[in-house]
Amino acid sequence: MHWVKYLIRRLCWSIVVLFSVSVITFFIARVIPSDPAAAWVGAHSTPELIAKARHDLMFDQPLYVQYFHYMDGLLHGNLGISIKSHRPIIMDIKTYLPATLELVIASMILAMVIGIPLGVLSGSNKGKLIDHCSRIVAVAGVSIPTFWLGLLLQLLFFRHLRILPIAGRVSNLVALTTPVKQITGFYLIDSLLTSNWSAFGDVSLHLILPAFTLGIYALGLAIRMTRSTIIEVLNERYIMAASIAGVPKRTILYVLALKNAIVPTLNVLGLSFVYSITGAILVEVVFAWPGLGSYVTNAVLGLDFPVIVSVTLIVTVFYVLIIMVLDLLQAVIDPRIVLN
C-alpha cells in the first residue's frame, strides 16, 4: 500500500515540477529580445506578412493569454509549431529523440559494463596496481572535456587508423544500398528486426566513438562510486564472516558486496542518464549525430522558442521519471530502504 501512496505523491510533485518548468521556460523565452514572427515569415518578409504572422501565432496577445493557449495545446498533446521548420514539434521530436536515446543508452551500457567491474576490482585491491590504474581512468573520465575527447578520437581512429567512421549514424553507401527500415527509430533495433545485417554492422561502428565520448564521464563516476562503496562494504562484519566461512572471493565480491554497493552507483548512473541527454549536444555536434542535441542547438541559434520550451519539458519528464524509477529500484534491491 505504501508503494501506491508513494507513487501518487511523486506524481503530484511531478506535475508541480513540470508546471513550474513550463512557466519559467515559457516566460524566459518570451522576454528575450527577438522577433519570432519575422523568423516565421523568413528572409523575404514584409511588414504586412510579419503582422499577419504575429496575429496568427498570437504574439500580439498578452503573455498570460499566450501561456494559457500553450498549456491548452500541451494538455492535448500538442507541443506547438517550430518557427524555423513550420512542422509540428511533436513530429520533430519523434524523428530526433530516438537517435539521442540510442546514443545515451549505448553510453550508459558502456559505463555500466566497464565501470562497475573496474570499480569492484579497484575497491577489492586497494593500493595495488589495478587500483591505481582504475583511479587514473576514473579521474580522466570526469575531467576530460567531451568535445576535446571526441575530436581526439576522430583524429586517432578515423584519420590515422582508419578503422572507425568519423560522423553520422550510418554511411552513405549503406543508406543507399541497404537502408534501415524505420520501425522504432533506433537503428540498431530496426536493423535487427529486419535482419539487415550490413546496416547493423555499419550502425554499430558509427555508434562506438560517440557512445564512448558521451559515456566516459559516467564511466569515471561509476568507477569512483563503486570503488568507494566496495571498500566500505568489505569492512562489514557479514563480509568478514563469509570470508572466514570459506565463501569464494568472487561470490563475496559480486554477490554479497556488490548487492549493497550497487545502489549508490545506480543513483549516479541514473542521474548521468538525464545529464547525458542534455550533454549529448556537444557530442552530436562533433559527430554530426542527427539527434535531439543537434535539433535544440539549431533551435537556440535560430531563436526557435517553442522548440526550446518543448525540449526542456521533455528532458524534465525524463528526469522526473528516472528519479522515480531509481527510488523504486533501490527499494527492490535493498529492503531496508523505506519509501516516504
DSSP state letters, 16-74: HHHHHHHHHHHHHHHHSS--HHHHHH-SS--HHHHHHHHHHTTTTS-HHHHHHHHHHHH
Lowest-pLDDT range, 154-158, 244-248, 335-339?
335-339
Q: How far apart are CA 41 and CA 18, in angstroms?
A: 31
Predicted pLDDT at 338: 55
> Band of the pLDDT at 216, cuts 50, 70, 90?
very high
Cell of 40: 516565421
Q: Tell me the mean pLDDT in the region 280-298.
A: 86
Residue 304 in this model has a pLDDT that exceeds 90:
no
> In this model, does residue 337 exceed pLDDT 60?
no
Residue 208 has pLDDT above 70, yes or no: yes
Q: Using CA atoms, how far apart are residues 232 and 212, in angstroms rounded to an integer? A: 29
User: Residue 204: what pLDDT?
Assistant: 93
Written as one letter, the residue type at 250 is R
pLDDT at 33 over 70: no
Specify whether the CB–CB gap between 122 and 223 falls below 8 A: yes
pLDDT at residue number 105:
92
Residue among 289, 331, 306 at smallest CA distance from 167: 289
Q: What is the mean pLDDT of residues 99-112?
A: 91
User: Mean pLDDT across the stretch 184-193?
Assistant: 90
b vs e for 130-150, b when ≥16 Cβ sit within 10 Å of the residue's Cβ?
Answer: ebeebbebbeebeebebeebb
Length of the chain equals: 340
Give every CB contact of residue 84 below 8 A, 6+ residues apart in sequence.
Answer: 39, 298, 299, 302, 304, 307
* Pairwise CA distance, residues 26 & 202, whole Å: 41
Instruction: Give every CB contact of residue 104 below 8 A, 6+ residues apart in sequence.
Output: 214, 273, 276, 277, 280
Confidence class of residue 10 from pLDDT cuts 50, 70 and 90? confident
Tell me how many degrees the CA angle 55-81-84 measures, rounded to the nearest 5. Answer: 90
At 269, the pLDDT band (50, 70, 90 cuts) reads: confident
pLDDT band of 189, cuts 50, 70, 90: very high
9-18, 26-35, 47-56: which has the minimum mean pLDDT? 26-35
Question: In the predicted model, what is the mean pLDDT of residues 28-36?
Answer: 70
CA distance 112 to 105: 11
Please give the pLDDT value at position 34: 67
- Residue 294 belongs to what H/E stretch? helix 292-301
| Lowest mean per-residue pLDDT among 130-134, 204-208, 297-301 | 297-301
Mean pLDDT, residues 251-267 taken together:
79
Q: Which residue type does 48 have?
A: E
Half-sphere exposure (CA, 13 Å, Cβ side) for 86?
A: 8
Task: Delimit the domains of the chain by residue range.
Answer: 37-78, 90-302
**Regarding the domain with residue range 90-302, which homologous superfamily does it belong to in the CATH classification?**
MetI-like (1.10.3720.10)
Rg (CA), the chain: 24
**By percentage, how much of the chain surpasses pLDDT 70?**
93
- Reported for 126-130, long-range contacts at CB under 8 A and 24+ positions apart, including other chains, are 126/231
Percent over 90 (pLDDT), the chain: 15
Give the tens place of pLDDT for each residue, 218-228: 999 999 888 88
The tens digit of pLDDT for each residue in 231-246 reads 888 887 887 887 777 7
**Helix pair angle (292-301, 258-286), 10° resolution:** 50
Cα 274 to the center of its chain, rounded Å: 5
Hey, is 76 helix, strand or coil? Answer: coil
Please give the mean pLDDT across all residues of the chain. 83
Q: Are 37 and 57 in contact (CB under 8 A)?
A: yes
